[in-house]
Amino acid sequence: MKFGKEFAAQMVQEWQEAYMHYSKLKSILKDILRFKQKNKEPLTMATTTTTTKGALNRRASLYRAFSGLTNRYKPVSAMKNNEDEVILVSAVQEGGVEGDYQTMFLMSGEEGGEFELLFFRRLDDEFNKVLRFYKKKVEEVMLEADELSKQMNALTALRIKVDNPVVKGTDMVNLADKGFSSNSSSLSHSHPINGGKQGWTHMDVIQETEMSNEEEMKEIDDRHFRPAPLDVLDHVKINVELETPIATLRSVIKSSKSDLSFSKQELRTAEEKITQAFVEFYRKLRLLKSYCFLNQLAFSKIMKKYDKITLRNASKTYLQMVDKSYLGSSDEVTKLMGRVEDTYVKHFANGNRRKGLKTLRPQAKKERHRITFLYGFFSGCSIALIVAIIVSIHARNLLKSQGRDQYMVNIFPLYSLFGYIVLHMLMYAGNVFFWKRYRVNFSFIFGFKQGTELGYREVLLLSSGLSLLALAGVISHLDMEMDPRTKSFRTLTELIPLFLLIVVLSVTFCPFNIIYRSSRFFLIRCVFHCVCAPLYKVTLPDFFLADQLTSQVQAFRSLEFYICYYGWGNFKERSNTCEESEVYKVLYIVVAIIPYWIRFVQCLRRLVEEKDTAHGLNGLKYFSTIAAVTIRTIYSHQKQKTKTWLVLAAATSGIATMTSTYWDIVIDWGLLNRNSTNPWLRDKLVVPHKGVYYAAMVLNCVLRLAWMQQVLGIQTVPFLHKTALVAVVASLEIIRRGIWNFFRLENEHLNNVGKYRAFKSVPLPFYYEYSADKST
């Protein structure tokens, strides 16, 4: 793999604009190469004897294959102007502080020197950009390290207070000698409550060494391992209460910051939060170190490429400057990583270094061949069952059977539920595939724990397995014959859809660590947050899932039909009286508006918290959809349809469709930007083919109109049953949602890139009162 592709592949995508622009510098070098070729200047061994383009490519590739050896053993006389200085690099002093670096090109008077001069100007711009960004990030992690130090001071004191409630601050040294230092002694005692040297000095860990002199060891313990004073707790408030509906209601009445109660539950929750903060902080340090290394490597590569093209020796001087700069000489990040490792191992891994580093450095998830085999096997079996169902229907002429309507009205809605789920999972698998292909950091955006996110293969495995079970049930239900004496069907056959539903729910809520438990629990937690929408802080996974639910309205109605068919309908006779019940009709409307209501109250919660009017407008959009769904459903259930309800249904549906379409394309996707460099799109695009975006916008508009078919009177199609048409329209909405998902997350990813947001914020448990006083 060429370095340019490898460099792009290893970037932190949210920081990609802060990396050295390798391709831009490489394009300038190509201009230099073309100029020299045009002037027939001998550049390399390959260009001296070539006569055709094909020969040039072949010999150039051979030269590159041995370029390392030729560069190493090349005679000094072969280098043009080797004895002369090519560049001078100096740092500009700004107010006595070393600022940006500037390179003076000493050969600008030569023919073609303006190209090389431009190269070094761009090179300086890129280096100074990288240097400023790196300095800024290092300053941020140093401040964060200081905050974590204060958190650890409070946690250490809280641990001691919980274990010995009667202890006082003056007894700390004695307690350290009695064994508490093992829990809290990695923090330096020199950290005062409201002052002291900033930085990681509070979390310096002095490695214990074998010492024969016990007095000397005790002296070191007193000097370096003395725990933080308990006076810290007098200036600290704690917020470790889990976010629950009750806690949210309680916070409305009083402050969310609670006083310390010195309980073990409080201590345990505080430890969990600080542990998460340490893991995320260490990940930030690792990525920052990778950023530093990759950019240094990129500058080295581009300078060596410059030397190779121009036959100069400028890389040595420039790379010496890079090594001496803050980017190459600073070791703050490396030291911080070591101290975080030692602190985490000592305080949160019981001294087990392997266990601690395994948590801090999670391994990348390995691809397993058996997953590919299984989803291929399940998919093949599903296709075979589909073919068998089609052959069975035509062979037995079931489409013209007397029981056709009975089957479509009573059985088809039961199995269509699984069809909706499988289709949505297939669309999500496609989304994951293209997100990975175009390097959209979906796992960070959704907040998945590193290494636990499902890839497209795992999603395909689940969807193909579910489709196999559902299709097996369908083919067993194709027998429409009944007992002529009792006019009833076999009970076991009629209960197959119910058994399938129970299996799916059982697997979903299974507490054992099987079938991707972390992903299942993540989904359940998000669903619970959606159900209790106004009582939980709205995060992206919550409202993203709620948006998915708005496209599964027909699936919710199928669940309602399950309850009616098996609870009140005579399923043994394959008949039901659901649509004759007024309660069923009311619930038919309620279950349809629940997903939109969830999004509506989520928008209200975000409006109250963030004070952004855009969330209020978004809430009005969902409220208009609620009105449209309600009026349209009432109109469809009328026996004698009136023009008044038709006009109301058409008007509300039209308003909801137009507002939703505009919001999808302009707000959620960020497209239709008139002043964009890409006409009517955005300035930044992930997919290189612009036609994809135009096609997606058109398709979104067309599929949005599909749900109005009932209002417009297109309720029957000659070759489709009414229930089949409803399923087709519902499937089109799921497909539209799948397309929406890709561009919605792409836009979110680009927003994170624009703001350099590459890490999730972890709430810390302790709150220092003096900090608030100082800030005011």
pLDDT in tens, 91-123: 876 654 557 888 888 877 777 778 888 998 999
Helix axes 540-550, 722-754, angle to 10 degrees: 160
Non-local CB neighbours of 318 within 8 Å, separated by 6+ positions: 87, 89, 103, 123, 299, 303
pLDDT at 177 over 60: no
Which tens digit of pLDDT belongs to each residue from 131-165?
999 999 999 999 999 999 888 888 888 888 887 76
Non-local CB neighbours of 162 within 8 Å, separated by 6+ positions: 262, 263, 264, 266, 267
Helices marked H in 477-534 — which ranges?
Answer: 491-494, 496-508, 517-531
Query: For residues 160 and 174, is the Cβ–Cβ distance under 8 A?
Result: no
**pLDDT at residue number 218:** 45
Residue type, 366: K
pLDDT at 624 over 60: yes
Query: For residues 314 and 306, is the Cβ–Cβ distance under 8 A?
Result: yes
Of 363, 219, 301, 250, which is closest to residue 19 (Cα–Cα)? 301
Alpha-carbon distance values, 398 to 121, 394, 479 (Å): 77, 7, 9
**pLDDT at residue number 58:** 39
How far apart are the C-alpha atoms of 469 and 502, rounded to whole Å? Answer: 12
pLDDT at 352 over 70: yes
How far apart are the C-alpha atoms of 160 and 138, rounded to whole Å? Answer: 33
**pLDDT at residue number 507:** 95
**pLDDT at residue number 671:** 93
**pLDDT at residue number 333:** 92
More confident residue, 510 or 81: 510
More confident residue, 70 or 596: 596
More confident residue, 375 or 264: 375
**pLDDT at residue number 452:** 84
- pLDDT category at 293 given cuts 50, 70, 90 is very high
Task: Name the helix (H) or strand (E) containing 102.
Answer: strand 97-105
How far apart are the C-alpha atoms of 511 and 551, rounded to whole Å? Answer: 28
Residue type, 557: R
Q: 3-state DSSP helix/strand/coil percent for the chain, to nearest 5?
A: 70, 5, 30
**pLDDT at residue number 754:** 66
Alpha-carbon distance values, 125 to 53, 94, 122, 346, 724 (Å): 35, 17, 5, 43, 62
How far apart are the C-alpha atoms of 577 and 613, rounded to whole Å? Answer: 46
How large is the average pLDDT for residues 709-720?
Answer: 61
Residue whose tokens read 């009205």: 409
**pLDDT at residue number 71:** 41
| CB neighbour class for 537 (10 Å; exposed up to 12, middle 13-18, buried from 19) | exposed
Query: For residues 146 and 188, is the Cβ–Cβ distance under 8 A?
Result: no
Of 618, 747, 731, which is closest to residue 682 (Cα–Cα)? 747
**pLDDT at residue number 290:** 92
Of 30-39, 363-372, 494-503, where does the model show the most confidence?
Answer: 494-503
Helix axes 582-610, 517-531, angle to 10 degrees: 90
Alpha-carbon distance values, 430 to 157, 425, 434, 451, 702 (Å): 51, 9, 6, 19, 21
How far apart are the C-alpha atoms of 123 and 303, rounded to whole Å? Answer: 9
Q: For residue 767, count other CB atoms closer than 10 A to its CB.
A: 17
Share of the chain above pLDDT 90, in %: 41
To the nearest whole number, what is the mean pLDDT of the chain? 80
Of 67, 75, 80, which is closest to residue 110 (Cα–Cα)? 80
- pLDDT category at 755 given cuts 50, 70, 90 is low
Question: Which long-range contacts link 106-115 to residues 24+ away (Cβ below 8 Å)?
Answer: 107/81, 107/312, 111/39, 112/32, 112/35, 112/36, 112/39, 115/28, 115/31, 115/32, 115/35
- pLDDT category at 482 given cuts 50, 70, 90 is low
pTM of the predicted protein model: 0.80
Question: Which of 246-255, 303-312, 456-465, 599-608 shows the lowest mean pLDDT across its residues?
Answer: 246-255
The full set of domain ranges for the chain reads 1-32+119-361, 40-74, 369-754
The first and second tokens of residue 516, run together, are 């991707």
More confident residue, 764 or 667: 667
pLDDT at 4 over 80: yes
- pLDDT category at 244 given cuts 50, 70, 90 is low
pLDDT at 628 over 50: yes
Residue whose tokens read 């076999």: 490
pLDDT at 713 over 90: no
